Amino acid sequence: MRFSHASKVKMSKDLPSENYIRVRDRKAEDGSKRDLSYPDLPEPLRVGTYDNHTHLEIADGENPMDYREHLELANQAGILGGVQVGGSVETSKWSAEIAAIEPRLVAAVALHPNVAAEYESLAELDAAIAEIAKLASQPRVRAVGETGLDYFRTEAERTFLQQHSFEEHIQIAKENNIALQIHDRDAHEDVVATLLRVGAPERTVFHCFSGDVELATILKEHGWYASFAGTVTFKKNQSLRDALALLPKELILVETDAPFLTPEPYRGRPNSPYLIPITVRKMAEVREISEDEMAEQITKNTEAVYGSWSADI
């Protein structure tokens, strides 16, 4: 059994308040009756790699962990570090602050498309975008994200706010010569059209890639990156695996989107960067290469997108 040597994950109950922003209490939020304990530590990767997209400001599960506990476990699993991603002014500030003091994290800052759509007016949205632009010039902020379009959760009459926000965020990434992390939910066509119209930044990443072979072909054509989350392990998502098989190896990244999108067989339980080995193993299987080769390639790609984790701290 692959995970027979898995060790039990220990969690603390008392979190220092500066080490997280919110607790996602799913039992209170939606009466979830799921197992909300953290999965066991998987067999570690032999070749270290990075989590391209995580939200460690959210403490989740029965016994929530703060970012330092996540990172300790991640190190035990062979994870070198990650990109801590903001989705609001508040979480972007937190991400930039933590990345400035924590060598295992770099930051991405942005207004999530669903956050952008909640602003009352364009003027208020622009004021928030100006805050993001200020953060984007900090040396440990290596990406603008997550920004993009989300037609799943936003009503049609409010998507103009998302569209405006997305275009402004693209400019901020270009002005600072840093990467762009795109959130694209049910909006492939408009995301691609926007990138082509406005001009994509040099390093453009589709976070939690959710497309098929058709979108993967477009990414390949333009040299855009696809970051695969735990969703690539879900049985029903053969189209994601087909897309992964088609992409050039230089454009492939891996992420957790923790605390969301926990890979199989732990779907529904809280996610954490230490679970990256499970997704990397699945990706190696799809690519028909060894997990060491897969991890090594992702590490190379990740550093090409965001730069060195050890710089500027």
Residues that bind Zn ion (CB under 5 A): 257
How many other CB atoms sit within 10 Å of the CB of residue 238?
A: 11
CA 3 centroid distance within chain: 25
Q: Give 60 or 257: the residue with its C-beta nearer to Zn ion.
A: 257
Alpha-carbon distance of 65 to 23, in angstroms, equals: 9
Give the side-chain half-sphere CA count within 13 A for 191: 27
Biggest CA pair distance of the chain:
57
CA distance 258 to 189: 26
- Say which DSSP state 19 is in: G
Nearer to Zn ion, 150 or 257 (CB): 257
Do 106 and 147 form a contact (C-beta atoms < 8 A)?
no
In contact, 47 and 296? CB cutoff 8 Å: yes
* Position with the least CB separation from Zn ion: 257
Q: Rounded to the nearest whole angstrom, what is the least distance from the CB of residue 85 to Zn ion in the complex? A: 5
CB of 53 to Zn ion, least distance (A): 6
Cβ of residue 145: shortest distance to Zn ion, in angstroms? 8
Q: How far is the CB of 249 from Zn ion (least distance, A)?
A: 24
Rank residues 113 and 291 by Cβ distance to Zn ion and give the closer one. Answer: 113
φ, ψ of residue 35 to 5 degrees: the values are -70, 115
Query: Cα–Cα distance between 81 and 126 in angstroms, integer?
Result: 32
Q: Which CB atom, from 211 or from 284, has the smaller least distance to Zn ion?
A: 211
Cβ proximity to Zn ion: between 256 and 291 the closer is 256
> How far, in Å, CA of 261 to CA of 275, rounded?
11
Measured distance CA(137)–CA(159) in Å, rounded: 27
* Helices of type H across 77-158: 89-101, 113-116, 122-136
Q: Which is nearer to Zn ion, 151 or 291 (CB)?
A: 151
CB of 92 to Zn ion, least distance (A): 12
Nearer to Zn ion, 69 or 257 (CB): 257
- Single-letter amino acid code for the residue at 305: V
Q: How far is the CB of 198 from Zn ion (least distance, A)?
A: 22
Structure tokens, 248? 């050039």
Q: How far is the CB of 5 from Zn ion (least distance, A)?
A: 31
